[in-house]
Amino acid sequence: MKIIDVNLLNRSYSIQVEDGLLASISGLLKQSNIGQKWIIISQHRLMELFGFDLMDQLNQQGYYIDYITVPTGETAKSMIEFNRIISQMIELKCDRSTTILALGGGVVGDVAGFVASSFMRGIDYYQIPTTLLAMVDSSIGGKTGINISEGKNLVGAIYQPKGVFIDPRILDSLPREEVVSGLGEILKYGAIKDESFFSATSQHLENLDTFPFENAIARSCEIKAKIVSQDECEGGLRRLLNFGHTIGHALEAHFGYGQLRHGDAVSYGMISAGWISKELGLLKRNEYKTFKQSILRLPLPSLNKFDPVSLLPFIKNDKKTVSGILHFVTLTNIGSASTNDNVTDNLLISAMKEIQ
């Protein structure tokens, strides 16, 4: 088992990564089980695949356990669903001692974490991610939230889990497209912090059947855990984790949440950000060429035709825009990134044309 610590004083917790870990959850949580109500928040299909077995495991070990399901897709991250979950928890007689297990991908983790941060002013929760994207990104760092019509994750909180349990074997149940989406985020970690990891990951994309998922997940978690430990609330360093996300989120909002997978949108966003880095003289032309070619080893879906100008309002509403200034993440070379406040609308428009 690989154990990665997120060091945040009294909010510290561990990320545990191991094939087959799901079968050990009851033992791993034993010391935290003090007779309280436990609630699994998940989706119906995931309950059938993993959740009901997990409930049986916990029941057999004396846990007082129930579950709540949310719809699939980004529709689960709505104020309507948030209100419904809170109402169900009250009906199930949950209280301030209740503990949530977020069993699912980023959507489930985001909404379950936000519920945990809000219910009775905050209760404990654990992340059990079931997608590659959630394993390496959204389950770590405490970002929770829901979407509104004006943009993605504009309502939420930074609220740390008590622990993260990652079982890479779960990936065997995922459609190939979902795995590809998560690989974009793994490339991101190499792009901003570890050139050799980026290069090795890119090479492994040639044959996904032999991709070293457990090691790649652990390395991605190490990078994110170190950044979050130094900058929990995104005051500076943590902004680097948004590489590719500014344009990626705009693409998601434009095409419709769920129509373009988050990881795919981020991959296209990284290409655009790499192009901007080149245009600003931060990234050499040959580095950008290598960078773009590496990302395009992913079998990304084709983007429907769009007008880049129409995406600018989404970018302006992005959380990375503060006091009218967009803190855009650029590369200084592959393996090193920084924020840049000099990215103009014209550069953004031209960068989006690069991915059409």
pLDDT digits (tens, 9 = 90+) for 15-71: 999 999 999 999 999 999 999 999 999 999 999 999 999 999 999 999 999 999 999
Contacts for 229 with CB less than 8 Å, ≥ 6 apart: 5, 6, 7, 8
Give the pTM: 0.92
Query: Active site residue: 74, 185, 222, 232, which one?
Result: 185
From 121, 176, 285, 305, active-site residue: 121
Helix (H) / strand (E) containing 147: strand 143-148
Per the annotation, the verdict on 346 as an active-site residue is no
Give the per-residue pLDDT at 316: 81
Asked whether the predicted pLDDT for residue 9 surpasses 80, the reply is: yes
The tokens describing 207, both together, are 């044959």
Residue of 147, 153, 242, 340 with catalytic role: 242
Q: pLDDT tens digit string along 123-166?
A: 999 999 999 999 999 999 999 999 887 777 889 999 999 999 99
Give the sheet arrangement for strand 164-166, strand by strand.
2-6, 13-17, 164-166, 124-129, 99-104, 37-42, 64-69
Please state, for a pLDDT cut of 70, what percent of the chain lies above it: 97
Amino acid at 177: E
pLDDT at 150: 76
Annotated catalytic residue 96: no
Neighbours of 83 (CB within 10 A): 10
> Where do the structural domains in the chain lie, given as residue ranges?
2-172, 175-353
CATH number of 175-353: 1.20.1090.10
Annotated catalytic residue: which of 74, 222, 232, 234?
234
Tokens of 2: 């690989």
Mean pLDDT of the region 73-94 = 94
Banded model confidence at residue 224, pLDDT cuts 50, 70, 90: very high
Q: Give me the helices (H) in 130-284, please.
A: 132-133, 176-193, 195-204, 213-230, 245-255, 262-279
| CATH code 3.90.660.10 for 2-172 | no
CA dist 250 and 318 (Å) reads: 8
Long-range CB contact pairs, 281-287, < 8 A, 24+:
282/330, 282/331, 282/332, 282/340, 283/330, 283/331, 283/332, 283/333, 283/334, 284/333, 287/331, 287/333, 287/334
Kindly provide the b/e burial profile for residues 181-194, where b requires at least 16 CB atoms within 10 angstroms of the residue's own CB: bbbbbbbbbbbbbb
Active site residue 185: yes
Q: Token digits for 59?
A: 């029941």
